[in-house]
Structure 1
Amino acid sequence: MRIDDPVVLDLTGVTDKAGLMDRCAAVLALPDWFGRNWDALADCLTDLPEPVTLVVTGWQEYAGTRPREWRTAQDVFATAVDQRPTHLTVLVALGEAFGGSDEAPAASLG
């Protein structure tokens, strides 16, 4: 798998769903109608205008403070990947930074 020009979703400092939705909206340039809820995020992810490799970094604090929401977010990302496997790739960086090198391994969702 090649990662050309990934979009980095840095969740550093995000501690709730609203923060996650705001970051997704900004980083992915989601449309104005994006309702900042799980269903709207799922719709937007499967409706992206061009193929995207999304690398999620800095997620540990969010996962620790809102583990149920983090599981839901992972499910939404994985379902979108399953629905559009040639259009969306989501990687969760296991390290603290992502620079496309061996220093920050990533795990794929879906």
Structure 2
Amino acid sequence: MTSPVQLPELPDDGLSGIFDGTVPPGVYRVPSVGPDALLRAQAEDWQAAVLDLGDVTDKAGFLDACASGLELPDWFGRNWDALADCLTDLSWWGEPGGYLILTSGWPAFEQAAPETAAQAAEVLTAAVGYWAVRDASLTALLG
């Protein structure tokens, strides 16, 4: 059995640290993602989306959740390369102060499909790195 991907927990500064820049952009584990995170992102002029992974047990389900939760463009090809392309071209989201991807159901998804979850985390981490050197950063919270 594949062990869970080693990702850091969100530091104590939490959402405030993400928005004020004291917590670096990244892919972080969180105990849960509540509606307050989405509201706070909107208040900070960030674009945010929630990926509901509650019933997701495979790659196709994860990519479908990305397509709907992120409202990906019609050209999204539902594969890892297409997801990476979409996450490095967030033009359909406008030009906010930053981008925040929230997931709910990550632990169950990771348990059901550990290799797919590892690949998803890798794609998210690469996208965070891409945005880290640009005006708007990207952070993903996996809860």
Under TM normalisation by the shorter chain, which class is it?
A: 0.7 to 0.9
Kept in 1, the 8 Å contact 2:50–2:70? The answer is: no
Map 1:1-110; keep pairs closer than 5 Å.
1-2=18-19, 3-5=40-42, 6-49=48-91, 50=94, 51-85=98-132, 86-93=136-143
Post-superposition CA distance 1:41-60 (Å, at most 9, x none): 00000101234211111112
Say how many residue pairs are matched.
Answer: 93
Q: Which structure 1 residue ranges, 5 or more long, are not aligned?
A: 94-110
Q: Which structure 2 residue ranges, 5 or more long, are not aligned?
A: 1-17, 20-39, 43-47
Indicate the structure whose relative CO is greater, using CA pairs within 8 Å and at least 6 residues apart.
Answer: 2
Give the alignment's TM-score, normalised by structure 1. Answer: 0.77
CA distance in structure 1 between the aligned counterparts of 2:130 and 2:73, rounded to whole angstroms = 20
Question: Which of structure 1's runs of 4+ aligned residues deviate more than 4 A?
Answer: none
* 1:34, distance to aligned residue in structure 2 (A): 0.6
CA distance in structure 1 between the aligned counterparts of 2:141 and 2:116, rounded to whole angstroms = 18
Give the alignment's TM-score, normalised by structure 2. Answer: 0.61
Which of these two proteins has the greater Rg computed from alpha carbons? 2
CA distance in structure 2 between the aligned counterparts of 1:7 and 1:31, rounded to whole angstroms = 14
Q: Secondary structure at the match of 2:141?
A: strand
Q: What is the root-mean-square deviation of aligned Cα atoms in Å?
A: 1.3
CA distance in structure 2 between the aligned counterparts of 1:7 and 1:37, rounded to whole angstroms = 19
Q: Secondary structure at the match of 1:4?
A: helix
Identity value in percent: 46
